[in-house]
Every structure is written in structure tokens, then in C-alpha cells.
Structure 1
Amino acid sequence: MTDEQRKSVALEYLKGFDNGGVTSDGAPLLDLFADDAQVYFPKWGLATGKEEIARLFGDVGATITSIRHHYAGFNWILTGTDTLVCEGTSHGEHRDGPWRAGVPEWGAGRWCDVFEIRDWRIQRVFIYLDPDYASADKARYPWLTEG
């Protein structure tokens, strides 16, 4: 696969979240994954295989009413290998409240995903973000409670 082909699979994955877990052709998001794929999500851990990935997505998805990724601002690192990285921003509605990248500047909405894509299937995606979407966890960080 070329970098652009791998990037197209990663974009389909991200757009699938914006579309409620459904790809552009109406298939479930899990169809983009290899059977033994791995997904990491902060405060959830590592899911291996489609069954665990479905549980991870169900657990996290149950807390999110809507999400929109800001595609025009994505930064891609394409390596010429099976690995690629996408850094971006998002906004949406969490059960605890809304979020938007940059509002506040230290809050949720900035993320980075590291993908491994081979044979048109996601083998691995490690998601790096602050899962405190509504920015409610302030007490443990003194710089957020000062002034």
C-alpha cells in the first residue's frame, strides 16, 4: 500500500466516528480492522481483537453524544511504512458537557493517533488524548485552579 492509500483508510476510520460508527459505504467501523487488531485508549487500556475493540468503542461511545473532527487542520506524518500518524482537533458533546479544542486552551479536543495499516485493514491504532472531554478534572492540577 502507498502512504496515500493508508491515509485514506485512516480518514475513513475518523469519518466513521463522526458518522456514528458507520463508514461512508454504510459498513460498521469494525470492518476497517484486522481480526487481531489492537486499539489503545487512555483510561481504558489496550483492546485486542474485534470483540474487545467493539467493547472499548461501546464503552467510550456511550459517553459521547456527538463528535466532529476538524479535517482541514490535520497534520499527517507519513513514513513510507505501514505506520502513519495523524494529529488533529475535534469538538463535540460528552455526557458531562461539550468540548471544543482550544476552549479552554488546556482542555480536551487535541489528539494524536498512531496507525499501523496493512492490506487495507487497521492493524493497530493507539489514541492519545485527554479523555476528560468536559474538562471537569481540575482539582488535581493546581495550575488550573489558581486565580
Structure 2
Amino acid sequence: MADHYLELAKGFLRAFDEGSDVFALVTNDVEVMFPKWGIAKGKEGLAQLYRDLAPYLAGICHHPESFNILADGNRVCIAGVSSGRLADGRTWQPDGACMGQFCTWFTFEGALASRIWIYIDPDYADGTRDYYPWSR
């Protein structure tokens, strides 16, 4: 059964990358956490999260070959790397260290995701690097 949920989680990331309808993949009362944004509740909350990200994030690609996966019952955790483009034209690529790293926890009810917790630095293009003394 864990393999079933694993395929659903991978399918969600693939649908997000392709710009497909992810709303068909979540429960009506889904909860989605995105760093520095907060917790979206329900499909309308998820729609608002997408509207808020749209002027910032132009495209993303999660790299399945990088996935490290934990699965337990109806819960799946996928960690890996992504690449993409921001609306202002800046891009990011995995750099073998921190750039592009993500970790996402999924909880499923049947075939639908009911909880998605996304852990990623939303400063995809590293624009705030100078704020951190260890980066200088």
C-alpha cells in the first residue's frame, strides 16, 4: 500500500511541474504549508497560495532521480532537488549543496492528499544570501 501512496505523491509533484490540475489530487479540506506564506486551508486556500506565488514563480522541475523517500502507511516524505525559473527571469539549478533542496510531507486520505507540508527555502535564486553572516 505504501507504494500506492508513493506513486500518488510523485504524481502530485509531476502535476505541479507540468502545470496540471493539482486540485483534483487533493481533498476539499486539504492543508498545505509553504514557508514564509503559512498554511493554506481547503482548495480555496490552496488557490490563494497559487495566486500569491504566480507573480514570483514561473516554473519548477522536481528531479525524480534525486528523490530520497520515506513512506509509512498513508504518509510519504520526498526529499530531493529542484530547478526552475522565477517570474523575473532568474533561474536556479541544484548546486550539489543547498540550492534547490526541498522536502515535502504528504498525508493521504484514499487517493487524495489531505496534508502537504513543503520545506524549502523560498528564496530560490539566493537573493538574500548577504543577510546571513556565514555566507559572506
Q: TM-score interval w.r.t. the shorter chain?
A: over 0.9
Distance in 1, matches of 2:115 and 2:10, equals 14
Stretches (4+) displaced over 2 A: none
Distance in 2, matches of 1:46 and 1:73, equals 27
Gap runs ≥5 in structure 1: 23-27
Q: Deviation of residue 106 (structure 1)?
A: 3.5
Distance in 2, matches of 1:68 and 1:136, equals 20
Distance in 2, matches of 1:61 and 1:122, equals 22
Alignment match, 2:10: 11
Q: Deviation of residue 42 (structure 1)?
A: 0.2
Q: Residues 1-147 of structure 1 correspond to what in structure 2 (within 5 A)? A: 2-20=1-19, 22=20, 28-79=21-72, 81-96=73-88, 97-102=90-95, 105-107=97-99, 109-145=100-136
Q: Deviation of residue 58 (structure 1)?
A: 2.3
- Percent of aligned pairs sharing the same letter: 33
Q: Deviation of residue 143 (structure 1)?
A: 1.6
Gap runs ≥5 in structure 2: none
Q: TM-score with structure 2 length normalisation?
A: 0.93
Q: Deviation of residue 67 (structure 1)?
A: 1.1
Q: TM-score with structure 1 length normalisation?
A: 0.86
Distance in 1, matches of 2:112 and 2:93, equals 30
Amino acid at match of 2:18: N
| 1:55-84 Cα distance to aligned partner (Å, 9 max, x none) | 1122123312221111112111011x2211
